[in-house]
């Protein structure tokens, strides 16, 4: 429960979290207030957030700090020249990181984080308590440097964020290779996200790291399968890709079972049940690329060897 001030409005940032989270989606209607009143909306210094427990409060307060710092960056004339698209990218990035951190806890996650794509953004937008981005009377925000760097990509005019860590959810688990998606598996490989170690959390959020590494492995191994000198003909390439897919997810499950946390539900299953589970949960079954993205080359940390004698 948040404290309520009975005689005057309390301007202590932790008390004022509820009226300011989630932040509203930037639009042409509120963009001026986003920029003009930024220093009048609350921030949440680490000293004001609970040291233990109340993980949601810390995650939400940190998300507000990030988005406000990034809005300030957006509002500098010459960066986006008044265009709200950069602010939308900052907003989506901040809330995506919030959801990643929510999913990294052992508690119930924010209901909007259970959704994906536009459904997620619409959910946050509907719940925003301050859609017009009005300031808090009598409050002057402290300067809190964001703990993450935000870089605007002007090539994504729809505001879609292409930061790989943020884009993990739409690409894990990878879909089962089939004759229907095999061409896309091979042709669009360098357009699907990879997750360099520098972009993954250094501590905590073990699931995020394991899933990102699994994607890196399977994409590298797909590239190996798609080289015609390795496998000849679609059937052999498909066999190789399926083996790569199963091997990557098998390693993922081994690593999941090596933790002290709840494992991915598909890893609780075995054999065809496991593969069917991952296949049903795959958010990108057609292996489409991410517009405007070019994947870095990441050498897999494990060697994959295709066994042509084990093709079904």
Residue with tokens 């250094």: 202
d(CA 239, CA 310): 8
**Could you read off the pLDDT of 132-189 as tens digits, one per residue?**
988 888 878 887 777 776 766 554 444 333 344 445 566 788 999 999 999 999 988 8
- Quick check: 309 and 243 in contact, CB under 8 A? no
d(CA 300, CA 208): 17
Q: What is the radius of gyration, based on Cα positions, of the chain?
A: 22
**Could you read off the pLDDT of 39-93 as tens digits, one per residue?**
888 887 777 665 555 567 778 888 888 888 888 877 764 444 445 677 888 888 8
Q: Domain-by-domain residue ranges, the chain?
A: 13-127, 169-310
Tokens describing residue 30: 């509120």
Cα angle: 53, vertex 63, 34; to 5 degrees: 145
**Could you read off the pLDDT of 194-222 as tens digits, one per residue?**
877 766 655 556 777 888 889 999 999 99
């Amino acid at each position: 429960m948040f404290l309520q001030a009975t005689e005057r409005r309390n301007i202590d940032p932790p008390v004022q979290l509820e009226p300011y989270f989630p932040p509203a989606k930037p639009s042409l209607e509120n963009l001026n207030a986003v920029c003009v009143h930024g220093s009048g909306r609350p921030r949440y210094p680490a000293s004001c957030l609970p040291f233990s427990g109340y993980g949601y409060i810390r995650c939400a307060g940190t998300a507000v700090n990030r988005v406000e710092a990034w809005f300030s960056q957006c509002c500098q004339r010459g960066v986006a020249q008044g265009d709200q698209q950069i602010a939308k990218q900052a907003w989506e990035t901040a809330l995506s990181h919030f959801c990643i951190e929510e999913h990294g806890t052992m508690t119930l996650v924010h209901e909007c984080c259970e959704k994906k794509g536009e459904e997620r953004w619409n959910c946050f937008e509907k719940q925003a308590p301050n859609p017009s981005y009005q300031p808090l009377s009598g409050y002057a925000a402290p300067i809190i440097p964001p703990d993450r760097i935000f870089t605007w990509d002007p090539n994504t005019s729809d505001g879609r964020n292409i930061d790989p860590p943020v884009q993990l959810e739409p690409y894990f688990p990878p879909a089962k290779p089939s004759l229907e998606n095999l061409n896309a598996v091979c042709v669009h490989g360098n357009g699907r996200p990879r997750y360099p170690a520098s972009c993954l959390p250094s501590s905590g959020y073990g699931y995020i790291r394991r899933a990102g590494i699994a994607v890196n492995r399977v994409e590298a191994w797909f590239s190996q399968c798609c080289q015609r000198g390795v496998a000849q003909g679609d059937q052999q390439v498909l066999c190789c890709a399926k083996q790569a897919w199963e091997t990557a997810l098998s390693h993922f499950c081994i690593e999941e079972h090596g933790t002290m946390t709840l494992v991915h539900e598909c890893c609780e299953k075995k054999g065809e049940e496991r593969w069917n589970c991952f296949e049903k949960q795959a958010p990108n079954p057609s292996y489409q690329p991410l517009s405007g993205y070019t994947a870095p080359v990441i050498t897999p940390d494990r060697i994959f060897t295709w066994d042509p004698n084990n093709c079904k």
